[in-house]
Amino acid sequence: MPIRSIWNVGRERGGFADGGWAQQKGDAIFGMNDYQKERVVYQSHDMTALPWKNGGGVTREVARDREGLSPNWRMSIADLEHPGAFSCFEGRQRHFGVLGERPVVLSFPDRQVTLATGDVLIFEGDEPVVCELPDGPSRALNLMFDAKRWDGHLMLCEPWAWPLHESGEAPWEECWYILSRGRLMLDPSTPNPVVVGPGDALRYPLTECGHALPGNLRPIDESAHGLVGFGVQLKRHSTDLDPVSSLQRM
């Protein structure tokens, strides 16, 4: 099950937590009654794998919103096992990032794009796309959302160098980090540190002004140069509704 914790706002120093984490597996600790201050570590082995209809791979859903039967945003990790056409997602903008070590070639009616590890391509969900795997199976991170209601970004970045929103803009409601290469240790000074590896997802807690708080992260590898990961940010155009997201569970 996902490892969840609540960041202790009262112990913030210099924009980072100095150890004020309460942690457990399973249900969240909701002592602060604030969804946006919850940290979630969602490990790949806890994500349910759903086969594609065309048999070309499997998808592991990481998170989505709970509004209606059709989610307004959805984040998932896909194991690309065989070449083939992508499904159509009408009315959704799609951000596609390569998590795997092998390249992915996406062929559209008017262009062909080769993507290496860390590359991101944005396209409309109803565009006809054929996926080719010239060097064998790979893995991808998919962020899809209704661009009429939500704004989102998927970008290659370091886990502790999170981009901040511009002054005057609405704060981000969801901030995630998905590791592609390397390993991270969370709260290494605690009795039970958590290891985040390739394919794992980390949801950052947020301050009141929408800044992400990575917490105490340390690369397990010899240097940070071996780390490759994607940051995901989401916010709705209208802030009238409270943000509610859902983790895919077994």
In sequence order, which residues have a C-beta less than 8 Å from that of residue 47 and are 6 or more positions away? 60, 61, 62, 77, 248
20, 86: one domain = no
pLDDT value at residue 169: 65
- Rounded to an integer, the average pLDDT of 152-180 is 76
10, 34: one domain = yes
Alpha carbons 122 and 216: distance in angstroms, whole number: 31
Residue found under tokens 């799609």: 94
pLDDT value at residue 10: 29
Alpha carbons 176 and 204: distance in angstroms, whole number: 6
Region of residue 68 (left: phi > 0; alpha: psi -120 to 50; beta: else): left
Radius of gyration of the CA atoms of the chain, in A? 18
91, 119: one domain = yes
**How many helices (H) and strands (E) are present in the chain, helices listed first?**
0, 23
- Helix-strand-coil percent breakdown of the chain, rounded to 5? 5, 45, 50
Domain count, the chain: 2
- Max Cα-Cα span within the chain: 55
- Rounded to an integer, the average pLDDT of 172-188 is 86
The residue segments making up the domain with residue 81 are 50-145
169, 234: one domain = yes
Per the prediction, the chain carries an average pLDDT of 76
The answer to whether residues 237 and 171 touch, using CB atoms and an 8 Å cutoff, is no
3-state secondary structure 93-144: EEEEEECCCCCEEEEECCEEEEECCCCEEEEECCCCCEEECCCCCEEEEEEE
Indicate the DSSP class of residue 147: T
39, 155: one domain = yes
210, 174: one domain = yes
Range from 3-12, 177-186, 205-214 carrying the lowest mean pLDDT: 3-12
pLDDT tens sequence across 222-236: 554 578 899 999 988
Higher-scoring residue by pLDDT: 195, 29: 195
pLDDT tens sequence across 103-158: 999 999 999 999 999 999 999 999 999 999 999 999 999 999 999 999 999 999 87
pLDDT value at residue 36: 58
Of 145, 160, 189, at which residue does a domain stop?
Answer: 145
pLDDT value at residue 60: 92
pLDDT tens sequence across 150-159: 999 999 987 7
153, 224: one domain = yes
Q: Is the pLDDT of residue 15 over 70?
A: no
- Rounded to an integer, the average pLDDT of 18-43 is 46
Of the candidates 34, 66, 62, 58, which has an alpha carbon nearest to the alpha carbon of residue 47?
62
pLDDT tens sequence across 53-104: 677 788 999 988 866 667 889 999 999 999 999 988 899 999 999 999 999 9
The answer to whether residues 94 and 145 touch, using CB atoms and an 8 Å cutoff, is no
pLDDT range class, residue 211, cuts 50, 70, 90 = low
Q: Is the pLDDT of residue 209 over 50?
A: yes
Share of residues in the chain with pLDDT > 90 (%): 35
3-state secondary structure of 219: strand
Q: Which helix (H) or strand (E) holds 81?
A: none
pLDDT value at residue 246: 56
Higher-scoring residue by pLDDT: 15, 193: 193
157, 185: one domain = yes
pTM: 0.78
The answer to whether residues 97 and 156 touch, using CB atoms and an 8 Å cutoff, is yes
